[in-house]
Amino acid sequence: DAAPAAVLPAAVQSPALLQLQAQIAQTTPAQKPVLIQEFWSAALTHGAPLLEPLPQHPQEALVTFLWRAPAGTQDQPHHVRLEWAMRSADPFTFQRLPDTDIWYLSLPLPRGLRAAYQLVVDPVQWPTALAAGAAPSRMQRVQTQQLSAQRDLLNPHHWHAGSRQLPADSAAALHAERSVLEIAATGPLRNMAADNAPPTSATKLPAGQLQHLRYTSALLGNTRSLSLYLPTGSHAAGSLPLLVLFDREAYLERVHIHQLLDAWIAQGRLPAMAVLLVGNPQRKDRAAELPPHTPAFGNMLAHELLPWLRAQQPAIATEACQVVVAGSSYGGLAAGWLGWAHPETFGNVLSLSGSYWWAPSTPKSEPAPHRWAEGDWFMRQVLHGPTQAVRWHLAYGLLERGVQGEAGIIDNNRHLRNVLQAKGYTVTTHEFAGGHDYYAWGEEIALGLEALLGTATQPR
């Protein structure tokens, strides 16, 4: 006899899952495991997530992430969610396809998407009993849930978002592994991540020199780590454009920016250039230094650090038009502020997903702003200030807004673009199909540098 038809959850959208659900409803209990195994065999062969067209929205694809419950646990409660760079008030939680070991999450996403993700499976809870009943902090919740994060084992394409020096069998290395998805922008739907893998140490390219330095600031009274990339070969005094890039550790360990620079310069995408990667003294200092709470950090860079660097490396350009200041998130905000506050030093701003929602705290001597007060503090500084001789490139992701269309970083950056254009600045933008994600920002740096500096054969 045929099994009774199951009620299909309204959230199921994937045609493949709809078809499987219909087949299960019409088959015998003995045939059901065969159908489910055939589904999983196909998923292993073609790779996950499932990519299916949306005929009514050809610029999008229906992406269905999958997770298989371990044998013997399919009838047990599981909590599975997608951990990635898209904003949402609610977590991206998987649902179970009734009476199967299939857990899924279907999302309509833009074609051309380039993103990294993990699955968080049955997350560990912070032991509140050990903390005298106190609620865990956000960082404690993140740390415990990271223990349950894993890459998508059905997706053969992955990215190591941590230091290559981590022991391969360590928990830290395991949780640094992320799955990657690059949806073809046109043509057949497929994951193109393997085709665009970043260069590895085995790739035979002319290798630039990477120096790791320590710098003590008299202005700030602190010491920080720096890394300096210099391209291969000899270079005349003042001939090397300079990129100043924040979040040193992340861009070295996750993005491997020095290897990408080797490739971009060898391919002729970019001219030979120097890169200064700037770290913060401690992790907690990032939120204190990068947003413009005070002018101190910018003054240190413009008046202390860069003159010190040029004294050691005369090949580095001295003209502001040959200097690009860049960063992502708070680093993008810092880059924008430095281009506005120090145009004599930084003639180009490369802002990646800049946090232009930020505003300084209201002094205690002043009344707190009411809920109808105008936001976008940085844009108001640009609007009411003089137009500087600075070129801008803003890159931000289509996924940097709420899943239901709530305003987000994409809207702040579009507002800044409009203000810059109205003020007469030269500004280019790239709205990329992705989110707040180092996996996407690596390529965005190359596109931004091409827009600001030109290529090796076609300088700006």
CATH 2.60.40.10 in the chain: give the residue spans.
15-196
For residues 69 and 362, which has the higher predicted lDDT (pLDDT)? 69
Instruction: For residues 80 and 67, give the distance between their C-alpha atoms in angstroms, rounded to a whole number.
Output: 8
Spatial strand order in the sheet of 50-53: 50-53, 60-68, 102-110, 95-96
Burial (0-12, 13-18, 19+ Cβ within 10 Å), 422: exposed
CATH 3.40.50.1820 in the chain: give the residue spans.
209-361+368-453
Round the average pLDDT of the chain to a whole number and report it.
88
Q: What is the pLDDT of residues 392-448, one digit of tens each?
A: 999 999 999 876 667 889 999 999 999 999 999 999 999 999 999 999 999 999 999
**pLDDT score recorded for residue 4:** 35
pLDDT average, residue stretch 79-92: 85
* CATH fold label, 209-361+368-453: Rossmann fold (3.40.50)
**pLDDT score recorded for residue 260:** 95
- CATH number attached to the domain at 15-196: 2.60.40.10
Q: How confident is the model at residue 456 (pLDDT cuts 50, 70, 90)?
A: confident
**pLDDT score recorded for residue 12:** 54
pLDDT at 212 over 90: yes
**pLDDT score recorded for residue 210:** 96
Q: How confident is the model at residue 200 (pLDDT cuts 50, 70, 90)?
A: low
| Conformation bin of residue 99: beta by default, left when phi > 0, alpha when psi is -120 to 50 | left
Tell me the pairing of strands 348-352 and 323-328: parallel
* Most confident segment among 151-160, 188-197, 382-391: 382-391
- The partner residues of 431 in beta bridges, in order of sequence, read 396
**pLDDT score recorded for residue 8:** 37
Q: What is the pLDDT of residues 116-131, one digit of tens each?
A: 999 999 887 766 555 5
Task: Decide: 427 and 379 in contact? Cβ < 8 Å.
Answer: no
Q: Which two tokens stand for residue 139?
A: 């960082």
| φ/ψ of residue 286, rounded to 5 | -60, -50
Helices of type H across 50-137: none
**pLDDT score recorded for residue 9:** 44
Task: Decide: 96 and 82 in contact? Cβ < 8 Å.
Answer: no
Nearest to 383, CA basis, from 418, 334, 333, 428: 418
Q: What is the pLDDT of residues 308-331, one digit of tens each?
A: 999 999 999 999 999 999 999 999
Instruction: For residues 416 and 335, give the distance between their C-alpha atoms in angstroms, rounded to a whole number.
Output: 13
pLDDT average, residue stretch 138-149: 70
Q: What is the pLDDT of residues 257-298, one digit of tens each?
A: 999 999 999 999 999 999 999 999 999 999 999 999 999 999
**pLDDT score recorded for residue 128:** 58
